Amino acid sequence: MKTIGILGGLGPESTAACYTAITRRYYELCGDYAYPEIVIYSLNFRDFIDSGYEMPDRVKEGIAQLSRAGADFAIAPCNSVHIVYEEASKELPIPWVSIMDSTAEEIRREGMRKVGLLGTIFTMTKGFYQRALARHSIETITPEAAACKKLNRIIYDELVRNVITDESKKYVLECVEELGRSGAQGVVLGCTELPFIAQQADTKVRLFDTAAIQARHALQIALEERA
């Protein structure tokens, strides 16, 4: 069984949720408590927000720390930090498993070719996520600029602290529905805090919960099996 490394702190609530999702998924599959070993290295969230997440050297050092602690591979339960994935994933001591590629595989399994993307302003507007999905022949659409700004505020002012309000939940789901009306076959919750406020039961539009997808994928790798 492989040891999972979690590059955490971006933010802390989604890091904790990732750990919980992996261990709960293991229990569902195996029914015992022999979870894979998990190492967490928590980064400084403020530094990454201030830099627009463009800190490839800091990411590399964080993954090196995970390797030194015994991790066999790394995941980052944060979509925005993948802005440096192409650069930072080179010459690492252990593989960094991309949340974008894991999500793309899930989208392809459902036979979809066009999805909406919700997340931080960095994830929605910097193009790295769109390029990653395009490599899997998936087209991506995002909300209007004003909606992107409001979603970004909801994420940083509320969700990263696990603050949930009815008003914000309604707004996020309105964005989901609007993307569906604009031709998206499904919507990627491209921020690992968004599942705190939007679940599949809330909408008929297919939601891709990147946090859950990555947790499942990490466990499959740790168990050396892929479903």
The predicted pLDDT at position 227 comes to 41
The predicted pLDDT at position 224 comes to 85
- What CATH number does residue 26 fall under? 3.40.50.1860
The total number of structural domains in the chain stands at: 2
Q: How far apart are CA 144 and CA 182, in angstroms?
A: 11
Same domain, 113 and 196: yes
Beta-carbon contacts of residue 129 (< 8 Å; ≥ 6 apart)? 79, 82, 100, 117, 119, 123, 140, 188, 190
Same domain, 202 and 176: yes
Is the residue at 227 inside a domain? no
Q: How far apart are CA 76 and CA 115, in angstroms?
A: 22
Is the residue at 184 inside a domain? yes
| DSSP string computed for 159-201 | GGGT---HHHHHHHHHHHHHHHHTT-SEEEE-STTGGGT--GG
Q: Which helix (H) or strand (E) holds 152?
A: helix 145-157
In the three-class reduction of DSSP (H, G, I as helix; E, B as strand; rest coil), residue 139 is classed as strand
Is the residue at 106 inside a domain? yes
Same domain, 122 and 201: yes
pLDDT digits 0-9 by tens, 204-223: 999 999 999 999 999 999 99
Is the residue at 88 inside a domain? yes
The predicted pLDDT at position 225 comes to 52
Q: How far apart are CA 220 and CA 94, in angstroms?
A: 17
Q: How far apart are CA 54 and CA 23, in angstroms?
A: 30
Q: Which two tokens stand for residue 164?
A: 């949930």
Same domain, 120 and 83: no
Is the residue at 128 inside a domain? yes
Same domain, 189 and 95: no
Residue 72 belongs to domain spanning: 4-99+212-222
Do 185 and 115 form a contact (C-beta atoms < 8 A)?
yes
Is the residue at 72 inside a domain? yes
pTM: predicted TM-score of the whole model, two decimal places: 0.95
Same domain, 49 and 77: yes
pLDDT digits 0-9 by tens, 32-51: 999 999 999 999 999 999 99
Same domain, 120 and 145: yes
Do 211 and 192 form a contact (C-beta atoms < 8 A)?
yes
